[in-house]
Structure 1
């Protein structure tokens, strides 16, 4: 009440909120515990990601050297054996003195190798490859039956032998070989795909590694601000372990990637180029013989021969698969490819002589030139070309296998090392926070 007798309400002091209970506040010890647990979880995540990535890479590299590369070689063997069988059958048919035992044995050996490679390929094929291999398996007996019919007619002097042989070769080149080529292309893509995957950047490991490094830096700043100590030996040790793990990863993965070449100019790419070069050479040889078998009606075979030789050795000395292979080859492989290129040029020269005789109406002389013996004869030139390509292809396959083994070797011990480093890192985090937490007891 004031002096005039009027009641005046008393002004109340603002109400004070009750202090939150101690359990609801984030005390310093509790904060330390949360940070420590978070760092341990990050360490486990980073270690698990690194180990998982390394195990996947090692498994891929093992698969490349022990599974995918052998499958690719089997696909190469299948295609080459079939193409060589076709070329050999056509050459043998031209033999004026009767089919030679050497060509007959080579033809049968080719079929045996193709059958063995087909069996292995069917065992390891995926669905798309299985469908193509079934085409080969179904049509190969038809092809061999046509060849045997052609041989029987030839021995009896029946003119229909040439027609049966042309039908057999058409089946081989238009149906069987494209299916076999599709199998090789598919298996080669799978091989290259696994190589590229094994050579990829470890994004998940890098993410957790950098996150862990950032977490350790933040934890040290936190401790330095609250404890008035510049360095925490436990967290410094944990940071050193993290840096060591990252450095080891960079060095080991870099060494692995350096030993596993991928992309243009890689051994796997070289294998593909050389395999296609061998295919072109063998099909050209078959078409060269079939041109003569047709006795004046082989213009289509000659056109195919020219296209395949252009694909193999280029036009006017420029381009072609051999030029591509030579540009990508290492020093050790160049000698084989240079020899193949020289033999291809010589083959073209001899082929022109054969065509000149045949086009001039002297079929017998053309056949003699195409089947002659001697080091300078066309069959010997082709044999040296084929041998050089086979040697270069074998060297390429061995290099693919060797690189996968070397790349896997660069990762040796890294998985066990990461497990130990992760354990050491977690221990260092615990040793770093334990005394700071103990100060508040």
Structure 2
């Protein structure tokens, strides 16, 4: 029996009706998910653009530094060493002149000292700490060297036998102190040049990382939107993907062209410059030692040993290897003629030197001096002059090739930085256009 005033429900309430009402959901809503994905894509696009822009600017700065700073510094260091070594060789040769000092040799010596002083001033301006220390050695010892040379000349003019001793002391100072310091400057500047070339030729890892991440994120975003909106394509995201592909292709082509125009490592123009510079060093030192052997009048065995060592370094014992053999193996067709001429002249020089040594060792010092200082196209001085000129031309061609490659590599990057800025802006706008209408559908 029903009791009055008591209400008995005719059916049980469902769990949903009895449960407390929900105030929120742990599941991320679609509009909010779209917002997060869009924001993530924008951040990735900006990060990729910034990384790519930074890489391009760094490469351009390095290439500009190579062509406008490091390569000229390397040339100045080459000029410094060559001028000093040629001054020493010229002074020793001039000392052998039996009829008085040649005005041509005197002029050449003074020109070498002037060029060395000028190159020294320029090199000091752009040198790092280590190079500055070496250049100071050159700056401090060069006046001592020239003073010894002038003392030797004065003694020779007055017939004082001490002239040869002063000359040998001056040459010892040049070859044991000044030239090693100058060679160290060239080696240091050349390493800096090669280092910047290698840095400009490296792979853009940060930009590549963010680029791959962005490409994967764009693909995932399109799949997400397609499943949620039941639309196969989202024009905004398709456009963003197209922009990303365009940026990737442009980067690939531009960086590939830049890298292709900038050779580094063994066989590169920079390596060839180093080999040719060392060839010039060996030739000039050999010339000085050859003259000093005669100046010593029978006491120059040490100088002769050094001459043989420098010639072996230059063309090898067989006359076809050594530094010039290495340079010839690395040279391009346009530059081979200079190196081939230098090698031929070096072999001819060695043959003439044997004649000089035969006369000197046989007791005919005057004949040896005559052979060493004779005039004529086939005489030893003319042969050495052609060798020196061929090496200078080959080295100049190598330096020009380094400049051309740096300019070409930098030119391949023209417009890439500005393009990245515009493409990044376009990509961000495309992402916004792709998600805005989808988010608006839920309002």
Cα offset, 1:319, TM superposition: 2.1
Corresponding residue of 1:58 = 60
| 1:21-32 superposed matches below 5 A | 21-22=23-24, 25-32=27-34
Q: Partners of 2:175 and 2:23 in 1: how far apart?
A: 87
Q: TM-score, normalised by structure 2?
A: 0.95
Shift of 1:80: 0.3
Q: In structure 2, what is the equivalent of residue 420 of structure 1?
A: 422
| 1:239 matched residue in structure 2 | 241
Note the 1:110-125 alignment, pairs <5 A: 110-125=112-127
Q: Among 268, 271, 279, which residue is 1:269 paired with?
A: 271
Partner of 1:133: 135
Q: CA RMSD in A?
A: 1.5
**What is the aligned partner in structure 1 of residue 6 from structure 2?**
none
**What's the TM-score once normalised by structure 1's chain length?**
0.96
Q: Give CA deviations for 1:29-86 in whole Å, capped at 9, x if unaligned.
A: 0000000011011101101111111011000000000000000000000000000000
Task: Provide the secondary structure at the position in 1 that maps to 2:238.
Answer: helix
CA 1:19–1:393 in structure 2 vs 1: closer, same or farther (change >3 Å)?
A: farther
Provide the residue aligned with 2:165 in structure 1. Answer: 163
Structure 1 match to 2:382: 380
What CA distance in whole angstroms lies between the structure 1 residues aligned with 2:435 and 2:141?
A: 74
Q: For 1:356-391, what per-residue CA distance to the aligned partner results, in whole angstroms no more than 9, with x for missing partners?
A: 000000000000000000000000000000000000
Measure the CA separation in 2 of the matches of 1:14 and 1:309: 103
Whether the 8 Å contact between 2:45 and 2:428 is mirrored in structure 1 is yes
Q: Which position in structure 2 is the counterpart of 1:10? A: none
Secondary structure at 1:411 match in 2: coil
Q: Give 1:19 shift.
A: 6.6
- Kindly provide the CA deviation profile for residues 199-235 of structure 1, in whole angstroms up to 9, marking residues without a partner as x: 0000000001111001001101111111111111110
Three-state SS of the structure 2 residue aligned to 1:297 is coil
2:225 is the alignment partner of 1:219: no
Say which SS state the counterpart of residue 22 (structure 1) adopts.
coil
Q: Which residue in the other structure is 1:408 paired with? A: 410
- Paired residues for 1:274-289 under 5 Å: 274-289=276-291
For residue 370 of structure 1, what is the aligned residue in structure 2? 372
Q: Which residue of 1 aligns with 2:88?
A: 86
d(CA) in 1 for partners of 2:22, 2:322: 83
Per-residue deviation, 1:21:
3.2
In the TM superposition, residue 318 of structure 1 has moved relative to its aligned partner by 4.1
Distance 1:18 1:61, change over 3 A: farther
Residue 152 of structure 1 pairs with residue 154 of structure 2:
yes
* 1:14/1:23 CA distance change after superposition, 3 Å: closer
Q: Deviations over 1:273-303 (max 9, x none)?
A: 0000000000000000000000000000000
CA distance in 2, matches of 1:184, 1:351: 30
**2:374, 2:127 → 1: CA distance?**
42
In structure 2, what is the Cα distance between the partners aligned to 1:281 and 1:19? 97
Q: Quick one: structure 1 residues 103 and 37, their matched pair in 2 at CA, closer, same or farther if it must change by over 3 Å?
A: same
- Cα deviation for residue 14 of structure 1 reads 9.5
Structure 1 residue runs of 5 or longer lacking an equivalent are: 1-12
Write the distance in 1 (CA, Å) between the matches of 2:425 and 2:121.
49
CA distance in 1, matches of 2:312, 2:20: 93
Distance in 2 between the 1:317 and 1:339 partners? 13
Q: For residues 405-424 of structure 1, what are the alpha-carbon distances to aligned partners after superposition, in whole Å with 9 as ceiling and x for unaligned? A: 01000001111111111111
Alignment of structure 1 residues 333-412 onto 2, 5 Å:
333-412=335-414
The Cα of 1:317 is off from its aligned counterpart by 2.6
Distance in 1 between residues matched to 2:184 and 2:412, nearest whole Å: 34
Aligned counterparts of 2:43 and 2:19: Cα–Cα separation in 1: 38
**Residue 73 of structure 2 is aligned to residue 71 of structure 1:** yes
Instruction: Give the Cα separation in 1 of the matches to 2:226 and 2:97.
Output: 93
Instruction: Please list every run of at least 4 consecutive aligned residues from structure 1 whose deviation after the TM superposition is greater than 6 angstroms.
Output: 13-17
3-state DSSP of counterpart to 1:251: helix
Is residue 2:53 matched to residue 1:38? no
| Residue 253 of structure 1 pairs with residue 261 of structure 2 | no
Residues 41, 214 of structure 2: 8 Å contact kept: yes
Residues 125-145 of structure 1, C-alpha deviation per residue, up to 9 Å, x if partnerless? 000000000000010011001
User: Residue 188 of structure 1 aligns with which residue?
Assistant: 190
Q: Helix, strand or coil for the counterpart of 2:28?
A: coil
Deviation at 1:20, TM superposition (A): 5.6
Q: CA distance change for structure 1 residues 28 and 153 in 2, over 3 Å: closer, same or farther?
A: same
Distance 1:116 1:357 in 2: 40
Relative to structure 1, the CA distance from residue 18 to residue 47 in structure 2 (aligned partners, 3 Å threshold; closer, same or farther) is farther
Q: By how many angstroms is 1:316 displaced?
A: 1.4
